[in-house]
């Protein structure tokens, strides 16, 4: 019997090793581990712009009663300071230069806090960030690369025989049901008007902030509304008055005015055509500033402006407090002057 078993084994090996193949086929395969799912990436919040970061710092420093949020879609911080008199003379809307805050230590803060002592409400605004200003920008969205999936039974291309409809898929009439057509109210596709609407330009944002401040001043039923602009803020205040021509804004104060990089027209072209009274204050310590001031004065004279006054401020080197006090006195004197008959 043992000889017969050995003979059968040798006969199987001689035929090609069938016995080892049978043994290998009987061994169980190791289970394949499913790939671990990667955690979903948490979207990072967009970083604050320069003006937003500076405004946040002001909100921590100043009392809540002095803070206002103006604007509809483009919210911004404004600082309110009521007049310290029984009867206010009016409201001063102050637009700082680009890159400054609503409480900037030069010109803006001293005027905002100093003029209420002489009967004026002040409303100081936060300028919008220009497109070319330094500061953090939202990171560019990275497009994820398409992952190559191994061809398995689930994502393999179906054979021609697999695409044939089965009996369960057909209707009783013997044909396939029609696909539902996309309706006009499909929410997945945004309207074409929304897709084509461009974001507001920097000029539109600046003018919208001035308009929101003027609307707020009107709610106070003030007898007089005055616009004050510093640096590039003077340019945007001039453009606002030239384009919209509000009848209840009768005076404009510009302090060291200059045109921004996105300026559409020269500053003197706006100032010369304004019907409002204009007080043009500049620091006459640089030759370029003196030349620009003369260009603005000559443009106003050629246009026959009825109430334009150019005021040179002497620079006091090393004494900034006295320099700012002098600015407040000069602006106050111009506001309280008697207009020409």
**Structure tokens given for 215:** 């609307």
pLDDT of residue 159: 53
| 228 domain residue, yes or no | yes
pLDDT of residue 264: 83
253 and 277 Cβ atoms separated by less than 8 Å? no
pLDDT of residue 212: 96
| 153 domain residue, yes or no | no
Q: Which of 276, 262, 269 is nearest to 309 (CA)?
A: 276
Other Cβ atoms within 10 Å of 184 Cβ, number = 5
| 66 domain residue, yes or no | yes
pLDDT of residue 140: 45
**Residues 6+ away with beta carbon under 8 Å from 107:** 96, 230, 255, 256, 324, 327
Per-residue pLDDT of the chain (341 residues; tens, 9 = 90+): 555 555 545 555 455 554 444 444 455 565 566 666 666 666 665 566 776 777 777 667 778 878 899 988 889 999 999 999 999 999 999 999 999 999 999 999 999 999 999 999 999 999 998 864 444 444 444 445 555 555 555 555 555 445 454 444 544 445 445 554 455 555 555 555 555 678 889 999 999 999 999 999 999 988 899 999 999 999 999 999 999 999 999 899 999 999 998 788 999 999 999 999 999 999 988 889 999 999 999 999 999 999 999 999 987 666 788 889 999 999 999 999 866 65
Q: What span, in angstroms and rounded, lies between the C-alpha atoms of 107 and 174?
A: 85
| 194 domain residue, yes or no | no
| 232 domain residue, yes or no | yes
Collapse the DSSP code of 58 into the 3-class scheme (helix H, G, I; strand E, B; otherwise coil) and give the result.
helix
pLDDT of residue 199: 86
| 192 domain residue, yes or no | no
Cα of first residue to Cα of last residue in the chain, in angstroms, is 140
pLDDT of residue 333: 95
pLDDT of residue 198: 85
| 63 domain residue, yes or no | yes
**How many distinct structural domains can be found in the chain?**
1
Q: pTM score > 0.75 for this model?
A: no
Q: The domain containing residue 312 runs over which residues?
A: 57-128+199-335
Collapse the DSSP code of 49 into the 3-class scheme (helix H, G, I; strand E, B; otherwise coil) and give the result.
coil
229 and 204 Cβ atoms separated by less than 8 Å? no
**Residue 328 DSSP code:** H
Collapse the DSSP code of 125 into the 3-class scheme (helix H, G, I; strand E, B; otherwise coil) and give the result.
strand
| 158 domain residue, yes or no | no
**β partners of residue 225:** 91, 249
CATH number at residue 67: 3.40.50.1820
**Residues 6+ away with beta carbon under 8 Å from 154:** none
Q: What is the dihedral of CA 271, 211, 220, 224, to 10 degrees?
A: 10
């Amino acid at each position: 019997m043992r000889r017969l078993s050995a003979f059968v084994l040798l006969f199987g090996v001689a035929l090609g090793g069938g016995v080892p193949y049978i043994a290998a086929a009987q061994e169980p395969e190791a289970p394949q581990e499913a790939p671990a799912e990667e955690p979903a990436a948490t979207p990072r919040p967009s970083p604050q712009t320069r003006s937003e970061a500076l405004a946040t710092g002001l909100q921590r420093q100043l009392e809540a009663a002095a803070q206002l949020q103006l604007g509809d879609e483009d919210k911004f911080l404004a600082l309110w300071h009521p007049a310290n008199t029984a009867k206010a003379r009016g409201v001063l809307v102050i637009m700082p230069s680009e890159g400054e805050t609503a409480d900037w230590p030069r010109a803006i803060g001293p005027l905002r806090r100093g003029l209420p002592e002489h009967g004026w409400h002040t409303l100081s605004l936060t300028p919008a960030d220009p497109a070319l200003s330094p500061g953090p920008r939202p990171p560019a969205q990275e497009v994820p690369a398409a992952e190559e999936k191994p061809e398995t039974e689930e994502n393999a291309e179906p054979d021609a025989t697999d695409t044939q409809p089965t009996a369960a898929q057909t209707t009783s009439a013997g044909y396939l049901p029609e696909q539902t057509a996309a309706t006009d109210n499909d929410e997945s596709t945004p309207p074409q008007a929304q897709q084509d609407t461009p974001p507001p330009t920097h000029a539109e944002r600046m003018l919208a902030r001035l308009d929101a401040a003027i609307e707020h001043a009107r709610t106070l039923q003030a007898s007089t509304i005055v616009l004050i602009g510093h640096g590039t803020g003077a340019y945007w205040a001039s453009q606002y008055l030239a384009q919209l021509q509000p009848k209840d804004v009768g005076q404009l104060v510009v302090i060291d005015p200059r045109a921004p990089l996105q300026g559409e027209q020269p500053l003197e072209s706006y100032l010369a055509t304004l019907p409002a009274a204009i007080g043009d204050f500049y620091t006459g310590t640089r030759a370029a500033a003196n030349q620009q001031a003369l260009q603005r004065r000559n443009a106003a004279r050629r246009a026959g402006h009825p109430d334009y006054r150019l005021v040179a401020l002497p620079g006091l080197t090393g004494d900034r407090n006295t320099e700012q006090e002098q600015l407040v006195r000069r602006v106050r004197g111009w506001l309280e002057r008697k207009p020409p008959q």
